[in-house]
Structure 1
Amino acid sequence: MKKGKQREGPNKAKAVSGSGSGASFSSSAVREETSTLEDDDQAMELEFGEEIITFDSPIHAYDPTETALAMAGGSSSSGSNQQAGVRKRKSIKSEASIEIVGPMEVDGSVKSMGAVTFTGDFSVRDRIEAYGDIDVNGNLTCSKVKSFGSLQVNGSALCTDKVKIFGKLQITGTFECQNEIEVWGAVTINGYMKCNKLTAYGSLTTVGDQSWYEVEDIETVWGAKLIQREDFEG
């Protein structure tokens, strides 16, 4: 990740997205206290001095029709509208829980001292870290994921590096990791999961006849394996 030079100037502003979220950002220009993450379409400077990287052309939003992690119901027309409004950020850092609305391209990382909720389409080039739960409602691509809470995927997620979850992993849709998945809590798959290596210290459950998973290398499940053959009702 390429870091820009730190700008001088005392002006700062806070942007809050979602109910009760505490995301904070620094800006080179004075902003109103009511500005939100969705309203801010200009380059922002973070507290640690990194700058927004601009692109010559818009970053295409995650297209579920062109990947194995497709979600039912996607349309090319809606995808085109989303691509035109993709926002770009250098990194996102929050001292509390945060809800982020896409479509969005994050060139760096997303870090939160609380929970993180992704709603919409996201491409995060670096890692995602949270001391609380991570909820994905839509489509997400990223590098590493580390959560001291649980990870819940409602849609599709693709991680190119290691995933470490200290809570539960709940999948409703598709989840692919091109490295290792390590989960301390229970794993529930209502859809499809694929990874290179799996280490689960709790139980692993697949829900219904259409749910399954693949492990290309080493699979270690310390808890019970429950392969269900009918729809799950919890």
Structure 2
Amino acid sequence: MPFAKAANGVRLAYQTAGRGPALVLLAGQANNHHWWDGIREDFESRYQTVTLDWRGTGDSDKPDEPYSTTGFADDVIAVLDDLGVDRAAVYGTSMGGRVAQWLGARHAERVRALILGCTSPGGRHGIERGPEIRQSLIDPDPATARQALLELMYTPEWLAHNAGPFHTLGDPDMPAYAKRRHLMASNRHDAWDALPDIASPTLIVHGTEDRFNPAANAPLLAERIPGARTRLIPGARHAYFEEFRSVAGPLVLDFLDETHH
């Protein structure tokens, strides 16, 4: 497996598949590249998909030091540099969408198109999940907390017909300190002032029933990012890209085709 090296020497595992222009797929908080299992194939006939294991996850190094969404964006650039990719389309979901905001704002010359999925500008302008949601995720019974997370990710209908395995519930092998570092990085994200600097064509995608990262964040992002367009997926929860892949995949591909130049 290839590794890129971050500026401070941290080794970052990354994965590529498919052929064509580069499409970077960014996973959610405390997850590794498996977040995209079963989905990246939708893009591989036309794009070279690039994923990475965030620092703290998967096969990447796991230093016990502060992480940040700006730092994660620098890690993505290190991977692109290692691959020799000058410009890529970037599709970030959840915390990956927070990281993607920084890529679009601070590394505009490297991003030819941007897709922000189920994400938030963060900070005092971002709309947080409700206290009852936060409480359900820290239930002392691990099985109850896991079920709460599953129901935030997927609809009851989908869960009734899909037994898993589920790749969006966190990297099971992550050390506890790294999970805390990821949580802090996500919580401290605030790209509000930088969003107007995004120059790439931008698509914002969100499920209408997302309570994990409320759908009310989509119009906030759209108002701040010049020319951004928004597509809401009716009935979808946080993992819209998986459960509603028959809708979300073509949406993203059409946008990428339209903006490819």
Query: Is the TM-score greater than 0.5?
Result: no
Answer 1 or 2: which has greater strand percent.
1
Higher relative contact order (CA 8 A, sep 6+): 2
**Looking at CA atoms only, which structure, 1 or 2, has the larger radius of gyration?**
1
TM-score (norm 2): 0.28
